Structure 1
Amino acid sequence: MSFGDPNNPYSQQPPQGQPGYPQQAPQGVPPQYGYPQQPPTGVPPQQPYGAYPQTGMPGMPGAGMPPLAHWGLRFGALLLDVLITVAPMYALGLIDIAMSDDPATAEPGVFFLIGVLYTLGMSIFQLYKEGSTGQTIGKKALGISLRREADGSVLGFGMAFVRRLAHFLDSIACYIGWLWPLWDEKKQTFADKVCGTVVVKVPKN
């Protein structure tokens, strides 16, 4: 039997230019793969769970952090929180005055006491929400959040309470600390600098 016999179908060689069957890799050798596939055009890369998106925008304290909240948003949130926390106490106190025989000599009554208890309870609630979520009622309404400057995490109740006490530093020098975010690069009050915190913009819920 001749290998060049044209009548023998088993002796035919594959024409040049046509690939044969792919060869299998030897046993024990893992198959070779090409380069990892890239995500489709226009699809952003996936971020680790719980991490801030890597936007790289200016005005951020660190890579991946949301943009810093300007002074106007911070002041608006503080004003809203004060109204929610304190205004009902004074409103209930006015009821006591209106119900007294002599408003000029009226003393705090039961309505004012209820208002004091409300203010105390609301203050604790606001502090808890700010420590656990980064947002008081006012901050949530305006889309800002209190975070640790180092890693963007929330403070926790204890550190949020310490920061409230540190606001004393913002008030002792003619309240200049409250205005410091207007020109500070990181938009921090003195309390923020002591506690290592920043206030950032977040989506409104």
Structure 2
Amino acid sequence: MTEQPPPYAVPAQPQPTSTYAEWGDRAVATLWDVVYYLPPLVLTLLSVVAFIAGAVASDTDDDGLAAAMFILGAVLFLGGAIWGVVRQVNNSVVRQGRTGQTWGKAKVGIWVLQEQTGAAPGWGSCLGRWLLHGLINQAVYLDYLWPLWDQPKHQTLTDKILGTVVVKRV
């Protein structure tokens, strides 16, 4: 008697279901993403401290220290700004485009998917999603609030425009 091969392995990561994520799930994921973006922000805030120290040093006629603090402030600011943009694009566009999850969404257990195919949205869609969220929310923060009254899918305006939904595992 020949032995049967084992069944295919179950994927290690749970697959998303068709249960739509609630507004609270999305809000908590956004807060986790804010935590993810804190290190570059701290670096940028330290640049402000260095600039202030440089200004104080220039008032005391210590030009060498003032120049050093201004240079340090510029380096910290530039480093924090570049690191922040890279981290934001990597998380919101690259990672979410490939997996359907930002760092925060992974913590909460929700995914962004193309509504028609159920697949991760891809980089282009996530870039559009990131830019569109920013554009709409610059005006009235309506995009973040829209899932509160959108039933049953709890979509943002951006989701509706790009044909995406946010789902959670059960």
Normalising by structure 1, we get a TM-score of: 0.61
Unaligned residue ranges in structure 2 (runs of 5+): 1-10, 59-68
User: RCO greater where, 1 or 2, for CA within 8 Å and sep 6 or more?
Assistant: 2
Q: Percent identity?
A: 36
Query: Aligned pair 1:166/2:117, yes or no?
Result: no
State the one-letter code of the partner of 1:181: P
CA distance in 2, matches of 1:67, 1:190: 19
Superposition pairs of residues 138-149 of structure 1, within 5 angstroms = 138-149=104-115
Q: Give the superposition deviation at 1:173.
A: 5.0
Q: Give the superposition deviation at 1:65.
A: 4.4
RMSD between superposed Cα atoms in Å? 2.8
Q: 1:178 aligns with which of 123, 139, 144?
A: 144
Query: Aligned pair 1:124/2:89, yes or no?
Result: yes
- 1:61 aligned partner: none
Higher helix proportion: 2
Unaligned residue ranges in structure 1 (runs of 5+): 1-48, 54-63
Q: Give the superposition deviation at 1:169.
A: 5.3
Normalising by structure 2, we get a TM-score of: 0.72
- 1:80 aligned partner: 32
For residues 81-105 of structure 1, what are the alpha-carbon distances to aligned partners after superposition, in whole Å with 9 as ceiling and x for unaligned?
Answer: 13322x22331133233342336x9
Superposition pairs of residues 1-205 of structure 1, within 5 angstroms = 65-85=17-37, 87-99=38-50, 100-102=53-55, 108-126=73-91, 127-168=93-134, 170-171=136-137, 173-185=139-151, 186-202=153-169
Greater CA radius of gyration, 1 or 2?
A: 1
Q: Give the superposition deviation at 1:162.
A: 1.2
